[in-house]
A and B are shown apart, each in its own frame.
Chain A
Amino acid sequence: MDLVRNLFGSTIGKKLLMAATGVVLIGFVTGHLAGNLQVFEDPDRINGYSHFLQSLGPALWAVRIFLLLCVAVHIWAGTVLALEDRKARGGEPYAVKRWIQATVSSRYMRSTGFVVLAFILYHLAQFTVGVAQPGTFKENLPHYTMKGDYRVLGFAVVRSGTDVLDVRSMVILGFRKRAVALFYIVAVGLLSVHLLHGADSLFQTLGWRSSRWERGLNLVVTAFCAAYFLGNLAIPGAALLGILH
């Protein structure tokens, strides 16, 4: 069918897929960060939040599968394009290569992307499956009893007294390991760099970008990436410095 052939076959089609999946992924990581920042509040919050997510059951799986699909498509397209692009360059490299206005982040999308991939895998192993640090994995920690209700839009989704997994301790204990914390910091740093180009680039790819407001877009994207980085830095950072306990 034309639609599929064009989207998955053509260079622009693949870029459109990357942009679309990119948007979803940005949405996820942003939301995820917001959720994670609850670690700084009363243990009720993040533990309740996590319990609530787990309790969604099939819905959660739907989301997981969707996200997985996005990452897969995103990586697939990125990789295929990367190979095509290298092929297009041809054998003989330039003796002198000048970059004129391409941003640094745009030149390392592949590498930053793959580090992020590695990170995600480790991350899942650590906090979702629990093979990375079994010792401090939520399942193996003493359960936590909710002191109050956890509310979403006013509805108490996790009632007071419920006994839930202690995600908060898992995270904090996990980050007590300097290496782990540092790896996180580097990874989210690179992800932010990835987004520095990505979040701008997607507007061009989707055809919504114009030099009229290029400057503005740059500012917003840079601010977003900075904020995103700091937010993500805060958690392992605080854990390392013992602010979180």
Chain B
Amino acid sequence: MTTKTFNVTLRVWRQEGPGREGRFVEYAARGVNPDMSFLEMLDVLNDELAARGEDPIAFSHDCREGICGTCSLVINGKPHGPNRGVASCQTYMRSFKDGDRIVVEPFRARPFPVIKDLVTDRSAFDAIQQAGGFITARTGSAPEANAAPVAKEVAELAMDAAQCIGCGACVAACKNSSAMLFVAAKVAHLGLLPQGQPERDRRVLAMVSTMDGLGFGGCTNQYECSAVCPKLISHDFIARMNRDYAKAVFRSALKPVAAGGGGA
């Protein structure tokens, strides 16, 4: 465990409020301990700023252990910083060296408007979930849990997809601000499980059209998203969703119209 401290220069995006003009401001972070997390480094800087009578830097964070998906920094052009498979809060200063200039920006995408400084509004993700990111199972109506076995491999694959923490780094990294990886992960998680079959078509159609409606871009298969994903969710799920979507589109077109008039 080293305790040798060092100094870095930060270029941080400052923006007073939604729709306001933003700009970069340079700050010196001194006496940085390599075992500090990037966010702890910002905490210390913020206390200094406050003491100097300046406005502290607003940034999103909560769990600080890479699971809640709140933290959302673009560090030197990479969402969640230099390391693979971690969130911003799991980025430690040992990844930087004395004298580094570190540019810190918010996640940028039209559907993620900046609220303040590095804080963005990602409620668009909730809207997509509300459109179909669920299995309808009214409380109390559930059958015995072991009634429907699920092959271990299938359960594991579903879990791989289900790990998504909803951080939005995939959108931030994609040159099209596409939410495909996020949506695909949810579609795959639920679509892989037997419980998810009844709503499978309806789900993918609804989630995709909501995603488009919210102004996320399309996918040009560039796989930047899976590269920055803190949970390393595979873009194979995007292929899977494309297939699901195609099937759903044709199935729903060919489906006979029920007397009740139930379309997908």
Contact = CB atoms under 8 A, between A and B. Distances in A.
Nearest to A103: B222
Nearest to B249: A6
Given A10-B209, A94-B74, A99 B224 contact: yes
B163 interface: no
B90 interface: no
Contacts of A87: 110, 215, 217
A75 to B, nearest CB: 15
B228 A88 contact: no
| A: interface residue count bin | 35 or more
Contacts of B218: 11-12, 14-15, 81, 84-85
B109 A89 contact: yes
B243 interface: yes
Given A90-B108, A100-B224, A211 B177 contact: no
B249 A97 contact: no
Interface in A1-55: 1-3, 6-7, 9-16
A85 B217 contact: yes
Interface residues of B, number: 54
Contacts of A207: 239-244, 246
A84 to B, nearest CB: 6
Contacts of B216: 11, 88
A205 interface: yes
A12 B223 contact: no
Max count, chain B CB within 10 A of own CB: residue among A85, A97, A99:
A85
A204 interface: yes
B72 interface: no
Contact of B249 (A2, A95, A109, A205): A2
A222 interface: no
Interface stretch (B146-154, B191-199, B230-238): B230-238
Nearest to B106: A92
Interface string A72-96: 0000000001001111111111111
A209 B237 CA distance: 10
B17 interface: no
Contact of A88 (B110, B205, B253): B110
A210 B208 CA distance: 21
Interface in B152-186: 173, 175-178
B176 to A, nearest CB: 4
The 5 closest A-B pairs by CB, nearest first: A207-B243, A11-B218, A88-B217, A96-B77, A85-B176
Interface of A: 1-3, 6-7, 9-16, 81, 84-103, 106-107, 109, 197, 200-201, 203-211
